[in-house]
Amino acid sequence: MSEKKAYPLRINARVLEAMQRWADDDLRSLNAQIEYVMREALRKAGRIQPAEKPEAMRDDEA
């Protein structure tokens, strides 16, 4: 697992409330949801490479 760093975040109250609802729907913490959304946006923009699935989760190798 990669190193985690704390970072204070100022965010619009309506955006925060919407993120909290989304996190609740996905059974994630608010922090995990924010990180997930940011990671997906970075991946789609080509800024980071997709994470490789762990060995146990690969279903294409049978």
> In this structure, is residue 28 part of a structural domain?
yes
Q: What's the pLDDT at 46? A: 94
Q: What's the pLDDT at 50? A: 81
What is the Cα–Cα distance from 55 to 13, expressed in whole angstroms? 40
> In this structure, is residue 57 part of a structural domain?
no
> In this structure, is residue 55 part of a structural domain?
no
> In this structure, is residue 43 part of a structural domain?
yes
Q: What's the pLDDT at 45? A: 95
What is the Cα–Cα distance from 23 to 47, expressed in whole angstroms? 24
How many structural domains is the chain composed of? 1
> In this structure, is residue 6 part of a structural domain?
no
Q: What's the pLDDT at 60? A: 57
What is the Cα–Cα distance from 62 to 18, expressed in whole angstroms? 40
Low-confidence stretches of the chain (pLDDT beneath 70):
1, 52-62
> In this structure, is residue 62 part of a structural domain?
no
Radius of gyration of the chain (CA): 15
Q: What's the pLDDT at 1? A: 59
Q: What's the pLDDT at 55? A: 63
Q: What's the pLDDT at 2? A: 73
> In this structure, is residue 2 part of a structural domain?
no
> In this structure, is residue 8 part of a structural domain?
no
